[in-house]
Structure 1
Amino acid sequence: MEPVHYNYEDFAWLPTAVFRIMGYDMLGSPKTRSRRILMRLYRILCLGCHGFCVGFMIFRIVEGKTINNISLIMRYSTLVTYVINSDTKYATAMQRSAIQSLDTKLADLYPKTTLDKIYLRVNEHYWSKMFVYLVLFYIGSSIMVVIGPIIQSIISYWTNSGFTYMHCYPYFIFDPEKDSVWIYVGIYAVEWLHSTQMVISNVAADLWLIYFQTQINMHFRGIIRSLKDHKPSVDREDQDRQFVAQIVEKHVYLVKLQNYLNGIFGGSLLLSLLTTAAVLCTVSVYTLIQGLTLEGVSYVIFIATSTLQVFLVCYYGQEVFDLSSDIAHAVYNHDFHNASISYKKWLLIIIIRAQQPVELSAMGYLPISLDTFKQVMSVTYRVITMLRQMIQ
């Protein structure tokens, strides 16, 4: 049985599906009027609960009365940095017209025939099962942070210690002796929607970034493969010149698409790296303070998945840098000795352009690469060590 060669639309299912968890449809897929209304209401509900929780968090910080120990200071620091990170990515996702425009440009560039899809090896760039499982694991670990307190309360109830009415966020204070149980249910519902808004904004924006970057990387690989496979000859000067002109044109266009991608996601990338490092620091210190509890285990898993999230973005940034650099090597190494003089001059244009590799960058200030990941993790570790020593 022949393998199915994916169409461009097939690649968008993962980031689109994740965003729909909070009621946001990036590409505006056709749907019934009733479903569209329900999704919009759900999205408004998520945004409303998020805004209410952020407002209450700011009130508690300004009030200062309930933040009376190191553990709570670390907890609030984590929440503040994670809110900034998530809201920045949500603001990036609100550039809907720009994202749809880039999506359309990449769709036009995507191979249309089966032979072209085979040559570009589109299936190798499709979402792997492992990647999908990692996304689900990230969302699941974030869910565990939210439902962990109620699980602990249920465990406490079955061990005859009584239901403890624990919940996720410290800025809501619930007194079971004074407040109705429905208030507790309401608090948990608001916290759940608040968390949904933050977690999905955080992961889905990065999925769109990786999705677009993977498409651009695929076309860079296609250019390298075309150069390696092409055998120019003086006898086919017109065809060779046409071939190399197409390569130059496509190379220039890919550089423009990469710059367009950087323009959309660059701002959130810069702030995301800073806030993610801060989140990892505060969560790590908070976990060390809390010890090995269900909440502590949930946070350890959350730290691991957040680190992996940063790594994946940096990995694809490194990949586009390497591939764009390899174009010059592909030009130099391919069999151009029997080509015409004009063909060789065109090759020089490609080599000169490839001397400045394409980068995934944060507003032009910081290239996103594996070296960036190493630096972020190094700084994070040093800050964790410093905070731990200060607390002790």
Structure 2
Amino acid sequence: MYRTIWMNKNIRYYLLAGGVSRLGDILSGMAFLFLAYDITGSNLYTTIMAMAETLPYLLFGLIGGVMADWLPKKKLLIYLDLARIPLVLSIVGLYYFDALTYGYLLVISFLLQSIGCFFNPAHRAVLPSITKNEERTSANSLYDTLTRGVTVLSPLLTVWLLNSFGTVHLFTIDALTYGISALFIARLQWKDATAPSEKKSLKTLYKAIMEFASWAKAHSTIRNLFIFTFITVFFNTWVWEVGLLLALAELSEKSEELYSIQQGVFGGVVILTNIAIPYFIKKMTLRHYLIGASIWGAGIIYYGALYDLKHFFIGGAIVGIGLPIAGLARGYLLQTLVPERKLGRAFSTNAVLLYFSNTISLGVYGLLVTFISIQKLMLGSGLIILLISGGALLFRTVNMAKFRRSLPVNFFK
């Protein structure tokens, strides 16, 4: 199955472009933080640098989706990749002239992430155009497996680059990945659907955003998918990204090492789950998303309730099964149910919801942890995810059973 998908040149070039681009994003993301701390020595300024990576998506995410629907995607993706190369290399040049400042790093980080607001929805919207419906789950699985594999292996590459060439040359590699990505995208062949030629203005931009919002609101599956995604991510983000590290710090003096190992185990389980899913599920539905979210919530409940080092690993592995099921279902539903001319806006809306949910989760939980224990926050978050997703799954199952009983007996014959 995977061999057949990989032999498709369009899919292969798309996957390679996505994988190499993801590698560059990870390397530059770490390099920005490392250099920010080296230059300032300040935790606050380093945190602000991290915020500069998320703010553009809240400001320009929806606009990027509209542009992805309006403009020829192939040209847009190539131009955006090429535009990022001089921005990244300028950091290397200034570094060697001892002219690199924190302010310049902040500006370049903001610009690169802003470009990503336009690149990412256009890139995700290409896959339905180069795959058949029955290939989509496998193609999504390969894409997620490749990008997740890059995420898991990138720390090893980063350590080697840091020891061999220095922090600044993470940006050199990043620039190289953008060039390679552009070459792979240039080799893609598909009929690129764009919006009808009409006068583009701020008014039509706003109209396009509101048009998709109205469409999504009226489409029950997409509307519910966005709602469940926002809720699940909100109750997971702090617990997984911050709470788990703080909990490990309470239980061990080697919290950072344990956290890295735990993340590696989690990534490995996610990869194996991604590979296995297409063998069992060809067409995904909102029901599959809810099943994945329920398993996800159960994993958080597990390590929140038992709150012990080994159970953090087991609970993380359970989350590593549920998360890719939910993630693949979300991608499949967007690619299948959203019209091609609205796909860019669909993926940008999804990204904005994720970043917004992440941001308020970190803020709200950062306040709650001052008077509620980490264990209680973990347990409560997992229970809410499980109750909402499991309750919705039960509701849909009961309603479907009632619907089938109301149909004539020979309907399914």
TM-score when normalising by structure 2: 0.25
- Which structure has greater helix proportion? 2
Higher Cα radius of gyration? 1
